Amino acid sequence: MCARASEPARTKTTAREIHAVPRVFVTPARRAPGEPLAVGHLAAARMRTRARFSVRRTYYGVGRVLLAVAGVIALLGYFDYVLGFATFAVYNYFSYFTVLSGMAAVVAFVAGAIVAFTRAVDPVWLDWFRLLVTTYIIVSGIVFLTIVIQSSSRDYTIEVPWSSQLLHFWIPGIALLDWLTDAGKARLPWTATAWVMLVPGLWGAFTLVRGGLVGWYPYFFLDPAQVSGPLETLLYSLVAVVLFTGIAAVLTATSRLPPQPWRRAAPARSGSELP
């Protein structure tokens, strides 16, 4: 009976003690600048960053589609322009390095647009291709501009129709801007610079052999009849090598710059590392 009498007393005391415990409401403190983010906040911030980056990649995809369309229009327009010359042969059209690099650029723009629409980061193979093509069309523009400037100091002039302006100046300039500002491009190795001379070397050898057979060269510095001798042709070729490798090295270097936050392998650990 004593045990039964003491049980209610302990029960009442325990209940009074429970009701007597004060209620404490904890309000979350604001995060100070530089203080690490909580896991939930960090995930939300990364999702917002990726969403903004996805929209940006879509813009790049649309821009590359427009570049591809402009490239096709420029190639067709330039073909129509050269058809107006009585001495022009259709098969010579595809001997111009500008035309070949322009067609490769259209393929690169289309592939780059598809990847930009579907992926956050370019695959390495695509940016290898983009590096080569961007280098080729930039060098083509520089060489053509040099030829136009030199013609003004001689007794002949070179017309620059709208199609040629697109191929030599506008498209290379916008492609360069695309490369420099694209945060989704892959990190390329320095060995990519060495490969840039493969296509120009093969094209140069083919052009010299073919020119000797048909008596026609796409550029004056390859034509023995328009230069002082083989040494001048060699000098122009060395300048071209410097241009190709120099521009490719600059483009490769820009791909190796520190990555943006959305491309880091490890998650950002503080709010200051997020945009």
pLDDT of residue 174: 97
Mean pLDDT of all residues in 76-80: 95
**Distance (Å, rounded) from C-alpha 241 to C-alpha 139?**
10
Q: Say if 1 falls within a structural domain.
A: no
The 8-class DSSP code of residue 253 comes to: H
**Distance (Å, rounded) from C-alpha 29 to C-alpha 221?**
73
pTM of the model: 0.75
Q: Say if 33 falls within a structural domain.
A: no
* Each residue's pLDDT tens digit, 212-262: 999 999 998 899 988 888 999 999 999 999 999 999 999 999 999 876 544
Q: Print the domain residue range for 173.
A: 40-257
With the C-alpha atoms ordered 241, 72, 169, 121, is the resulting torsion angle positive or negative?
negative
Q: Say if 139 falls within a structural domain.
A: yes
Q: Say if 74 falls within a structural domain.
A: yes
Domain count of the chain? 1
Q: Say if 244 falls within a structural domain.
A: yes
Q: Say if 7 falls within a structural domain.
A: no
Q: Say if 136 falls within a structural domain.
A: yes
* Each residue's pLDDT tens digit, 26-69: 555 555 555 555 555 555 545 554 555 578 899 999 999 999 99
Q: Say if 252 falls within a structural domain.
A: yes
